[in-house]
A = this chain, B = another copy of it.
Amino acid sequence: MKIAVLGTGGGARAHIARLGGLGHEVHVGTRDPRATLARTEPDMMGTPPFGSWLADHPGIELHTFTEAAERGELVINGIDSHNAVAALSAAAEQLAGKTLIDYAVPFVYNPDIAHPWPTPWGVMPTLDPCDSDSLAEQIQRALPDTKVVKAFVTQEQDTVVDPKAIGGGEHTMFIAGEHADAKRQTTDLLKAYGWSDILDLGPLVAARGMELYAHMHSAIGFALGFGTHFGIKVVR
């Protein structure tokens, strides 16, 4: 299947590599492919430049967001949350009728703080939107002809693409969205990744809870020790 991954960060790379391994034709989108490939320094998250990563992953094509969106039959959105609505809106025509899986946490980046993530516990990031809206709903409103599904967001993306690495895969993935066929497509992808417990939380308004969960995810991660991988299981 032709799958577009929009974004070149650490999360996007987890999906790109895994999708390639599953035999999909992966089309990666970035704002400016030449600029992305010209970068030689790690980004603010410490992620190595995409060009060197790409050299180790032959067969992956790099395009603009619009070109990648056009080629993908299914689209995964890994664009950073503050640029997502604008960048996706510019590709609305290419995304029309397609499933778009969004996994962003809309943390507010504070340029006065060198590292945007929480530290134990000097800095807590805040979320925007928060509580009465969600990024996924904003994207759906901006792209009414696209079928937005919120998923993946409650786990690290390395875990999303390889759930069995933790507890033998005995944990839970959540999805939400307005379109049953798009949620079926997302579920099929998740099963291919190795997920067996996939809980449909209903319409896209449930994305609020999924995004707000980011604070718990951070707190659990810090409590277990930075770098410890974990999953959340709904026990019933």
**Interface residues of A, Cβ cutoff 8 Å to B:** 120-121, 124, 126-127, 130-132, 154, 166-167, 170-171, 174, 176, 199-203, 205-206, 208-210, 212-220, 222-224, 228-236
State whether A235 and B201 are in contact (beta carbons under 8 Å apart), knowing that A212-B215, A215-B212, A216-B209 are contacts in the complex.
no
Among candidates B124, B200, B203, B208, residue contacting A215 with C-beta atoms closer than 8 Å: B208
Verify A235–B202 contact, CB threshold 8 A.
no
Q: Please tell me if the beta carbons of A209 and B203 are within 8 angstroms of each other in the complex.
A: no
Question: With A170-B235, A230-B234 in contact, is A199–B216 under 8 Å at CB?
Answer: no
- Closest beta carbon of chain B to A170's beta carbon, Å: 6
By a CB distance below 8 angstroms, the chain B residues around A206 are: 121, 215, 219, 223
Instruction: Answer whether A131 and B127 are a contact pair too, CB < 8 Å, given A209-B218, A215-B212, A234-B230.
Output: yes
Q: Could you tell me if B223 and A201 are in contact, using CB atoms closer than 8 angstroms?
A: yes
3 residue pairs, one from A and one from B, having the closest CB atoms: A209-B215, A167-B235, A209-B216
What's the minimum C-beta distance from A130 to chain B, rounded to whole angstroms? 5
A201 near B213: Cβ-Cβ < 8 Å: no
26 contacts between A and B (CB under 8 A): A121-B203, A121-B206, A124-B205, A130-B131, A131-B212, A131-B215, A170-B235, A174-B219, A199-B220, A199-B223, A200-B223, A202-B219, A202-B223, A206-B215, A206-B219, A206-B223, A210-B216, A212-B215, A212-B216, A213-B213, A213-B216, A224-B234, A228-B236, A230-B234, A231-B234, A232-B233
